[in-house]
Amino acid sequence: MLSNDSPSILDAAAVAEEQAFLDAAIAQRERLSARLAAELTVPAEDATGRARQRGLRAQLEELRRATGGLIFGRLDGVDGTVRHVGRIGLRDDDDTADPIVVDWRAPAARPFYTATPVDPQGQARRRHVRTDGPAVTGVDDEPLDGAGAGELVGEGALLAALDERRTGRMSTAFATLQREQDAIIRAEATGPLIVQGGPGTGKTVVALHRVAYLLFTYRQMAERAVLVLGPSPRFLDYIAQVLPALGETAVVAATCDTLIPGETVTRAEPRRLAEIKGRALWQGALERYVRSLLPRPRELKLRWDGEFHPIDADTVAQLITSAVQGRPYHRARTVFAEHLHHALADAVAERRAALLDEMDEGYEDILARFRPEPGDDGRSGSDVDGLMSDEELDDLRDRIATDATIARFVESVWPARDPRTALRTLLTDAALLTRHAPDLTTGDIALITADAEAVGWAPSDIPLLDAITDLLGDPGSPPSPPGSVAERARGQRGWVYGHVVIDEAQELSEMQWQMVLRRCPSRSITAVGDIDQAEAAHRHTGWADAVRSTLGNRWTAAELTICYRTPREVMDLTTPVLRAAGSHNAPPRAVRSSGIPPQTVETGADRLPAVAADTLAMLRQRWSGGTVGVIAPAALIPALTAALGDTPILTAAQSKGLEFDATLLIDPAGITAEPRGHNALYVALTRCTQQLVTLSLR
């Protein structure tokens, strides 16, 4: 009979069992690494060998990175099979045998995230294995015997992870993913998937782990890379190490402001102007504007060998129409030049033949005596009968195509356009805006033209610049930058990605959505966000409105409904804030409690900096080893900065997507007074994992 401490004995036995397995897995990883390293010492002899070496290096790098989480789970099937789940797959020495460890992204690992007592999926038990480096520190067992479904998968492991101190960097979560998260991560990548999720539901975790899953499942995506779009550089820094930790490097992380290589946002802009310039109408306006830059049909007279050769207006019109055919401006210009070169060559040949015909008139009988039969002496072409041979005509076309004078003539007819200059010209010219963007009001145009005189680009200029650059096309073919697929993709504006992931997608304007589609015409897109946390200047209050101009109705909706991060004590404050924001959505359901009630401190404006400094010091002491976030209205940040030293003070918008152990929220009334203020307050309230302290002004 077991004694009262039998659970501890059982836990110790389970830990010892998993430790033995982890030791064996680590040893196997070292053997495989050594074998791969040895194979890489053999020089590659051809392209096939080099390709194989690239694959071997990728495998070796993956093995070397898998230092933590080599195993984190185990599935015991009802048929007696046992499968361990880890961050990478680990094979036996016998390549034909089942893997020792199943990669968390593999189909065989899915029951680890989705099996329940009601739907055990052939599993008798799920075990979460907690490790610290090479040591097993604990196990959590979940029987899957139909005794009733719990709300969380691996509740002990999940809550332990949530209670850990925040480091200022997001960590991987493959060991604690939940059922509704896993369903989105593994969803088909056949079209746009838009995921609505409130604060703390793991939207970013889902988005990043979906990238890792897609690159594992659809290997061809790695050839085109995946673009991850985030709301800010601070956010990208926060998530920077997640995908490398998951072994993925074929990824480009950017914001919409940094999507065009070499272009930088250097100034802010009024919200109303940002809303105007973010509207979908600009796509059509820019298309009309670029069409207006095409040359008008007219007779052209080209000089060749001292003579002018006219190309009539109807022929020129045909050349222009044939050249355009949906092509960008500069590509059409190149085609037009090629056609014009041919037309000039034909005109020169016809003129030469006509001149010879004129010379021959009246001398036919005499010339006939001296003109040899074709082929008698090998001569042919214009030196025999005035008609140019195919070879002569090709040579003439080549000389015309490389002639500098002709090139200057084509430039005068169809000049190259710099997209920056072209956009500036449009934005500073009220008459052009009225003609090409008729939906803009007089007031809209006045705002645009006044702002366009400023130096540098504002955020809303970047999508317009991207659109006009795409419509104009590159005047030449820029060389592809060297390096990895991610480096090549990052350096080319026109790169087409295998998949795009957008975090905080509710912030994108309609023109920013156009930027996304240009980079992924296949529409293989995953967008995650919370429409109730929208802070941007656009007017969208629902996903259908936000994407109608670009995606229409061709997108799939998914939802994350459970809040894992933000404690119940804080989430209970959010319902009235959402209602004040005009939302009809319910906040996500919190599944954990921190046991710390939110605290409100009132102070006068004159005492605010000192009280904020004291409160921050208290929170830092309490959450030593973790992070404390300070969020305040933009207007208060200068004064608070002097009092709080080097502590970053964020606006609600800047805090989006981040999380802290504790949040010091300063002057919530000041935040609600800002544009979309209640949406911003909803963001600010929900950043903490443990404690919220609010400083209110009396």
Contact 122, 111 (CB under 8 A): yes
Phi, psi (5° rounding) for residue 524?
A: -85, 90
User: What's the Cα-to-Cα distance from 373 to each of 355, 356, 361, 367, 532, rounded to whole Å?
Assistant: 22, 18, 20, 12, 88
Q: How far apart are CA 395 and CA 514, in angstroms?
A: 45
In angstroms, the first-to-last Cα distance of the chain is: 66
231 is in an annotated binding site: no
User: What's the Cα-to-Cα distance from 289 to each of 11, 462, 524, rounded to whole Å?
Assistant: 72, 17, 30
203 is in an annotated binding site: yes
297 is in an annotated binding site: no
The total of other beta-carbon atoms located within 10 Å of residue 266's CB is 11
197 is in an annotated binding site: yes
CA 519 to chain centre: 9
Helix (H, G, I), strand (E, B) or coil at 112: helix
The CB-based long-range contact list for 330-339 (8 Å cut-off, 24+ gap) reads 330/416, 330/417, 330/472, 330/473, 330/474, 330/475, 331/473, 332/294, 333/410, 333/414, 333/416, 336/410, 336/414, 337/401, 337/407, 337/410, 337/414, 338/401
362 is in an annotated binding site: no
Q: How far apart are CA 76 and CA 82, in angstroms?
A: 5
552 is in an annotated binding site: no
| Residue type present at position 316 | V
Q: Of the candidates 512, 647, 649, which has an alpha carbon nearest to the alpha carbon of residue 230?
A: 512
Helices (H), 459-527: 461-472, 485-490, 510-519
| Residues in Cβ contact with 138 at an 8 Å cutoff, skipping those fewer than 6 apart | 11, 15, 129, 130
Residues 677, 682, 687, 693, Cα dihedral to 10°: 80
Phi, psi (5° rounding) for residue 301?
A: -115, 115
Q: How far apart are CA 108 and CA 506, in angstroms?
A: 34
Q: How far apart are CA 51 and CA 613, in angstroms?
A: 58
48 is in an annotated binding site: no
Residue positions counted in the chain: 698
Q: How far apart are CA 327 and CA 43, in angstroms?
A: 45
CA 169 to chain centre: 19
The CA R_g of the chain, rounded to the nearest whole Å, is 34
Structure tokens at 175: 């060991």
Strand pairing category for 82-86 and 135-143: unpaired
Tokens 């820094």 correspond to 237
Report DSSP state, residue 344.
Answer: H
202 is in an annotated binding site: yes
Write out the binding residues: 197-204
Output the known binding site for ATP. 197-204
